[in-house]
Copies of this chain bind each other. A is one copy, B any other.
């Protein structure tokens, strides 16, 4: 595995590989790998001639009061994991390499973002699509892999790729969970002991909502109320949002008669956790 920090160097090597007809799979990450990242890299390894993973904690997607400085990092361990999965290239640029000066070009998204994490993290997805546009141009992959835990991110990247005609296939892979259902997340390390046992209620509450749909409930308000009440009863976390929306359009629905996302975000003392389920009008889970 080659570890590369220079844009010029990785871009040249990728160009050479493309001109040789190689198919390239790309897993963009912020590092601190868990089984979620590993599942993305494994799938990319399975699908492509060349696998490239990037690790870049992108300051543009963190708000001024968010955890950019504190975001967990462990380059050495990450590199070992990527090597074990037989990743070919690990691209780890510095902030000054990606943003040598203030950007003259601004990229923003005006759809699919005034809901869920977009509402509580203004500018977050503008930062995400800006760095992805740069990374897509640097790597020029055939396929790109994201985890469905960040379902809104997948919807936003879908809009980015479609609107700007990137010749890239977007692949969203199922959320990887702990044995007790907690979605794997780099931010789980921030959870205190008591919080860790409460955190399992994030997925449990969403499942309670989805089960109501399986039982025939079509009213999104009732589903959302069920999730909120469960979270309030079972945890001391502070609620950010619980929402039920069409997916991937992320529009409000008055009746559940299409594919929807039921998503929640809660704050524990040092960790903001998110989770979601995507299911059809009968409550059948996606994948």
Residues of A within 8 A of B (CB): 7, 11, 15, 18-21, 103-112, 129, 133-134, 137-138, 140, 159-160, 163-167
Contact = CB atoms under 8 A, between A and B. Distances in A.
How many copies are assembled? Answer: 2
Given A19-B19, A105-B160, 17 more contacts: A11-B167, A18-B18, A18-B19, A19-B21, A103-B163, A104-B109, A104-B111, A105-B107, A105-B109, A105-B163, A105-B164, A106-B108, A133-B133, A134-B163, A137-B165, A138-B165, A140-B140
A164 B11 CA distance: 13
Nearest to A15: B167
Contacts of A105: 107-110, 129, 159-160, 163-164
Contacts of A159: 104-105
Contacts of A110: 103-106
Contacts of A111: 104
A159 B133 CA distance: 14
B18 A163 contact: no
Nearest to A112: B104
Contacts of A137: 164-167
Contacts of A140: 140, 167
B106 A165 contact: no
**Complex A-B, nearest 8 residue pairs according to Cβ-Cβ distance, in ascending order:** A104-B111, A19-B21, A105-B163, A104-B159, A137-B165, A134-B165, A106-B108, A138-B165
A19 B159 CA distance: 26
A21 B167 CA distance: 17
A104 B15 CA distance: 29
Contacts of A166: 137
A111 B102 CA distance: 10
A50 B213 CA distance: 56
A278 B146 CA distance: 47
A249 B126 CA distance: 25
Nearest to A160: B105
Contact of A107 (B19, B21, B107): B107
A109 B112 contact: no
A137 B132 CA distance: 14
Contact of A11 (B7, B19, B107, B165): B165
A131 to B, nearest CB: 10
Nearest to A138: B165
Nearest to A130: B164
Nearest to A23: B19
A20 B20 CA distance: 7
Nearest to A166: B137
A108 B108 CA distance: 9
28 contacts: A7-B165, A11-B165, A11-B167, A18-B19, A19-B20, A20-B21, A103-B110, A103-B163, A104-B109, A104-B112, A104-B159, A105-B109, A105-B110, A105-B129, A105-B160, A105-B163, A105-B164, A106-B108, A106-B109, A106-B110, A107-B107, A108-B108, A133-B133, A137-B164, A137-B165, A137-B166, A138-B167, A140-B167
